[in-house]
Structure 1
Amino acid sequence: MTDRTLHLPVAAQPSVDSLVNLAVLGEHHGYERAWLPETWGRDATTVLTSIAHETDEIGIGPSIFNIYSRSPALLAQTATTLQEVADGRLRVGIGPSGPAVIEGWHGVEFDRPLRRTRECIEIMRTVMAGETLNYDGDVFSLAGFRLRCDPPEVPVAIDAAGMGPKSVELAGRFADGWHAITLTPDGIEQRLEDLRRGAELGGRDPDEVRTTLSITACALTDGERARQLCRQHLAFYVGAMGTYYRESLARQGYEEEAHAIAAAWASGDHEEACDLITDELLDDLGAAGTPDRAREELRKFEAIDGVDAIAVGFPRGATTEEIEATIEALAPDA
């Protein structure tokens, strides 16, 4: 059975309490976990701590902590502390993010993302096991320290995010799970092959590597409003967030559309960029419309063999009320 989780809004919300309230609502409706993105708004650690204090059962996790703005040791310290605060409900997602955020916001060179991801996973595991850290890698050379507190009683699973073949293969080979985003049904099938290959290269059972697919969703009585919000969201990511989303879309059979959307956005014609998200493309990437239609589209992704969890995400322009309506309409208990 495919679990249904929440991918809390990436867009700015009115307050920390508003994010906590969405997680509480998700817990009430039976969602398995609340994932929190971290971009250039509120930091995920503080918000996840607040969520942990106000919930009892729902799992929590960052999706994602980028691997450049925190050292691997600090990522492990943070995960250790959050696991304690959350009474064992944490699962941590990490990944390189992209040059636009890493260089333009954090001022760090976006260098060797795959190698850095692998080394971060290995270092985090050593630290969270309570072992002395002696590590000689290509990116990090570390020695002599170990956690000053007890390691987590419940081990923290580490998921890796990725869209390209090599990054997904890396997740299969080294991580406990893979976080997927902006993928069509055919696209996720292709990347699952990369995940299985990576697991086999690492001598692991592919079924033990958990796949979480984040889907942009909006379920409203006004179905056209829901679909337009998702169009705007997808156009922004393809057009404004560097090359990663555009290249991923192009790999999935939408090369002409991906370049046209990016060109329209770059020229300032955001309306044209949105119009280029056709009904076919929207349905291939999201679950939007009336509650009945959105539920039907979501089930299409849940039926894919190898997808263990769907993370219900929300378009950037959605109001708090629209997000709450979508959480309720697409809840596991709906």
Structure 2
Amino acid sequence: MSSDMRSGVLVITHGATLDGVVEQVRAAAQAGVGTAWLPQVLGSDALTTLAVTGREVPGIQLGTAVVPTYPRHPLALAGQALTVQSATGGRLTLGIGPSHRATIEGAYGHSYDRPLRHVREYLLALAPLLRGESVEYRGETLTAVGALDVPGATPPSLVLAALGPAMLRLAGEQTDGTVTQFTGPRTIADHVVPTVTRAASRSGRPGPRVVVGLAVCVTNDRSARRESLGNVYAAVGTGAEPSYRAMLDREGVATAVDVAIIGDETTVERELRRFADAGATEFVATLFGTDQENARSLELIASFG
């Protein structure tokens, strides 16, 4: 099937060795999936892993979804990202985001005061560095002065995790687009795409990337998969993550399971088509079924290009 929406998978890194990650990316590449994305959580470093994995698995595009900004200075993150670009022949999309108050304040001890201001200043330092330019930026929340020397590196694509209107406008103004999570097709069509597209147009930037991430399972036992996913997503949309709750409310659903795509091939294909019609440029599937179900899901996801 042909589609203007590219396909991707979110690699499961929890409990996976580096060799295990490489095998997941290799399976995605062999299936014809366009991009393998890695999350950045408390554990293996996503960018380091991508540098190694990209050398092992040629061809497939690579991305982070997403690296939290607060714990990494723009000079440090830009150096990491450009190193991955050099190592992988320019296949990286650098996805970044401010994460959530509970993580940034609870785990890292940083203040989460005014995250929009923080991200705006962060991008003003990061984006020029990724383009190979020197920076001398002194803002309210950070200072970045210097230039990077990473031979062989081209500027990676940069996308921002954004859900609310102000952050989406910032994504359109200063980056190549946005990456979402727990966001359904109506919200993509009515909120995300128009907001980020208008901002990009006003800033003279090309049409933005809209990368949609959701759980997908091609299965003959929908109720069992909904139950298992419900256990995993029990805390999503609660008080610790108000931005996700806002997206679920916009979509008119109760839980994160309600925006997951679960069913047989016909059902899953129909739901994926809704996102393509909504204006998503890329779809990133988190696979969560049995090995057989994941193989079916991977085949269907890959058919979107």
Fold agreement, TM-score > 0.5: yes
* Structure-1 separation of matches of 2:164 and 2:187: 10
> After superposition, what is the alpha-carbon deviation per residue over 1:172-218, rounded to whole angstroms, capped at 9, x for unaligned?
1111111012112211122222112322332334x2x1111112111
* Structure-1 separation of matches of 2:162 and 2:130: 23
Q: CA deviation at 1:291?
A: 3.3
Q: Which residue of 2 aligns with 1:264?
A: none
1:137 alignment partner AA? G
* Structure-1 separation of matches of 2:48 and 2:219: 31
Q: Which residue of 2 aligns with 1:204?
A: 205
| Equivalences for residues 1-334 of structure 1 within 5 A | 1-9=4-12, 12-143=14-145, 145-150=146-151, 152=153, 154-189=154-189, 190-205=191-206, 207=207, 209-239=208-238, 241-254=240-253, 257=254, 282=258, 285-304=259-278, 306-315=279-288, 318=289, 322-332=293-303
Give the direction of change, closer, same or farther, for the CA distance of 1:203–1:14 in structure 2 (3 Å limit): closer
Asked if the contact 1:215/1:286 (under 8 Å) is kept, the reply is: yes
1:198 alignment partner AA? A
2:199 alignment partner AA? G
Q: Alignment length, in residue pairs?
A: 301
Q: CA deviation at 1:237?
A: 1.5
TM-score (norm 2): 0.89
User: Which 10-residue stretch deviates more, 323-332 or 133-142?
Assistant: 323-332
Q: CA deviation at 1:100?
A: 1.6
- 4+ runs deviating over 6 angstroms: none
Give the direction of change, closer, same or farther, for the CA distance of 1:125–1:242 in structure 2 (3 Å limit): closer
Give the direction of change, closer, same or farther, for the CA distance of 1:320–1:42 in structure 2 (3 Å limit): farther
Q: CA deviation at 1:320?
A: 5.8
2:266 alignment partner AA? D
Give the direction of change, closer, same or farther, for the CA distance of 1:310–1:149 in structure 2 (3 Å limit): closer
Q: CA deviation at 1:40?
A: 1.9
Secondary structure in structure 1 of the residue aligned to 2:235: helix
Secondary structure in structure 2 of the residue aligned to 1:235: coil
Q: CA deviation at 1:290?
A: 2.6
Secondary structure in structure 1 of the residue aligned to 2:29: helix
* Structure-1 separation of matches of 2:228 and 2:275: 20
* Structure-2 separation of matches of 1:125 and 1:239: 33
Q: CA deviation at 1:9?
A: 2.6
* Structure-1 separation of matches of 2:291 and 2:240: 24
Q: CA deviation at 1:15?
A: 1.8
Secondary structure in structure 2 of the residue aligned to 1:4: strand
The CA RMSD over aligned residues, in Å, is 2.3
User: Which 10-residue stretch deviates more, 177-186 or 245-254?
Assistant: 245-254
Give the direction of change, closer, same or farther, for the CA distance of 1:150–1:9 in structure 2 (3 Å limit): same
* Structure-2 separation of matches of 1:238 and 1:67: 21
Give the direction of change, closer, same or farther, for the CA distance of 1:105–1:164 in structure 2 (3 Å limit): same
Asked if the contact 1:27/1:58 (under 8 Å) is kept, the reply is: yes
> After superposition, what is the alpha-carbon deviation per residue over 1:250-292, rounded to whole angstroms, capped at 9, x for unaligned?
23334xx36xxxxxxxxxxxxxxxxxx7xxx72xx12112333
* Structure-1 separation of matches of 2:277 and 2:176: 22
* Structure-2 separation of matches of 1:122 and 1:192: 23
Give the direction of change, closer, same or farther, for the CA distance of 1:86–1:142 in structure 2 (3 Å limit): same
Ranges in structure 2 where 5+ consecutive residues have no aligned partner: none
* Structure-2 separation of matches of 1:229 and 1:13: 18
Q: CA deviation at 1:34?
A: 0.6
* Structure-1 separation of matches of 2:291 and 2:239: 24
Secondary structure in structure 2 of the residue aligned to 1:298: helix
Give the direction of change, closer, same or farther, for the CA distance of 1:69–1:86 in structure 2 (3 Å limit): same
Ranges in structure 1 where 5+ consecutive residues have no aligned partner: 259-276
Q: CA deviation at 1:313?
A: 1.6
* Structure-2 separation of matches of 1:297 and 1:76: 36
1:79 alignment partner AA? A
Q: CA deviation at 1:25?
A: 0.6
* Structure-1 separation of matches of 2:151 and 2:51: 19
Identity %: 28
